[in-house]
Structure 1
């Protein structure tokens, strides 16, 4: 999960000031966690609290956790509809296919023992807000890629599965996409691009650099790509430490709790 958070932090300063320079500085003074990291941690917290419980309990915990953290960190870059959802006394899904469902799902890819269970949990995390089929599909695609990467599936098989299962065009190259790529916040126009950044990357850091230099919604693309890359490549320890250092104490506490929770259950996964 720290792979997603670090990607978000790196991309945060390039979201509205895109760079195509692959030698860009990974971290500067203003690099910070955005709504992507806040909601990633909120989802992880809800899933930890409801391990082994039914779908209704998980949905309730997701709404509670996402609203609580979202209200605690109100200026993190949420979209307009999601901001309204955060403030609602009766929060209901709003048929969104924005990439918010996919950027917060990384913990799902680590916490379930089978691909089917992973897909089911990803659907639950999406549906509380993003109940449009494309919003659900985006979350499931990222979670599936994380699951496959962490369980030793090679890139060719990951590419084939995601393309077949979700219908994304993964035959393109980033070099072909980049010249005409713009700021897209939909799953349809950012999830496959994030997966391509992972597929083309040669290391965790290279994946992050490729994701950011694609342009567009840089923090979210790097968050999604970083989530998959962490499951496939060794993530440098210094980047794990930097991700934790740039979270405040309450958020860092959730991240550390998740780390302990995952490792206590790793033998089951």
Structure 2
């Protein structure tokens, strides 16, 4: 655990609510390099929040720059490895000072004069209010907290072929996912193939109904829990479907095949 990283989160982070608790959970596991692996299940347990809430908080932290993904690194169980960039090099106040020492914050002697404590060193502003570095910092943090943060991100290029194939198959999808959720979909595409995702969605799609992408992410998660013995790679078994579904599914799969063939 990095006490310095945790101290930075408590005193300098602009995060609020669940995002702050998520950041504290990561900092609690961070080492001296301010990196730590953290899976969604662990963050849900520590924050006592729902999966969608945790993912939204992670996306907000990634967009604010207070959290970053260490590309190419994974935890022992495949967890994402995060880094707290702004906490690197931060040292908590009073670190390294022995108990009972006279040196410390607020006890700096002025040259040729008496010691000046925290209250004595402040300059009163007109009207009696005190203005100091801490007040200015707090004002900046409040302004940053009042700025709205996006809860969704533009669709990453890797998922564009899947989105086109779903549309061709007649599956209505509202793509309102954060970066973390889009990475989950891309992992499913890499593991099971886009054809399997399109086939499963076309089979389960209510007639003419448009669903949010988070709904389909939960549906596609069934592929990870499916029995190991399946008819073949990237094949999703299902019962007979209406002819319209069959035609749409064929169109979607044909689009995927054409996009693969056009890829240099």
Please, what TM-score do these two structures have when normalized by structure 2?
Answer: 0.26
Greater per-residue strand proportion: 2
Higher relative contact order (CA 8 A, sep 6+): 1
Please, what TM-score do these two structures have when normalized by structure 1?
Answer: 0.25
Q: Which is higher, the Rg of structure 1 or of structure 2? A: 2
Greater per-residue helix proportion: 1
